[in-house]
Amino acid sequence: MNILVINGVNLNLTGTREKGIYGEETLDEINAELRAFAEGKGHSADFFQSNLEGELCEAIQSAQGRYDGIVLNAGAYSHYSIAIRDAIAATSLPVVEVHMSNVHAREAFRRTSVLTEVCRGEILGFGKRSYLLALESFFL
């Protein structure tokens, strides 16, 4: 299987922003671990990050026919981006929504995701391991 891991707004700052929530590893370090994990299972993973909503929609749309699924951490866009929700709904690819933090234990506005109902599942609260669990869900 070939999985696309998409990271949204502000996730390029992982490792330097709010370390108590997001940890000290950079997104590149996390991606390297995910790539090694996928390859160790005989699969592959590619990575995309953007702070721009439209670019995230394009990445989701262009994944059709190229990937077997998507692991998506849309960041704050998860809470209000109908555009990203519609891009997910427009594809037949399974998408697993990921959050490093437990959004239900944070500010009230983070407790709702407009993406969840069009995703295969949601994994949150396990730091970088949320990505590993999401990736592994495709390999079961």
79 catalytic residue (yes or no): no
Q: Which of 22, 67, 77, 131 is catalytic?
A: 22
Q: Does the pLDDT value for residue 102 go beyond 90? A: yes
First-last CA distance in the chain: 11
What is the crossing angle of helices 53-63 and 82-90, to 10°? 10
Annotation says 67 is catalytic: no
DSSP secondary structure of the chain = -EEEEEE-TTGGGTTTS-HHHH-SS-HHHHHHHHHHHHHHTT-EEEEEE-S-HHHHHHHHHHHTTT-SEEEEE-GGGGGT-HHHHHHHHHS-S-EEEEESS-GGGS-GGGG--SSGGGSSEEEESSTTHHHHHHHHHHH-
pLDDT tens figures, 2-15: 999 999 999 999 99
Angle between helices 129-139 and 27-40 (to 10 degrees): 30
**Catalytic residue (choose from 67, 77, 99, 131):** 99
* Residue 45 pLDDT exceeds 90: yes
The pLDDT confidence band at residue 110, using thresholds 50, 70 and 90, is confident
pLDDT at residue 105 tops 90 = no
pTM metric for this prediction = 0.95
Question: What is the residue extent of each domain of the chain?
Answer: 2-139
- Mean pLDDT along residues 1-29: 95
> Class for domain 2-139, per CATH?
alpha beta
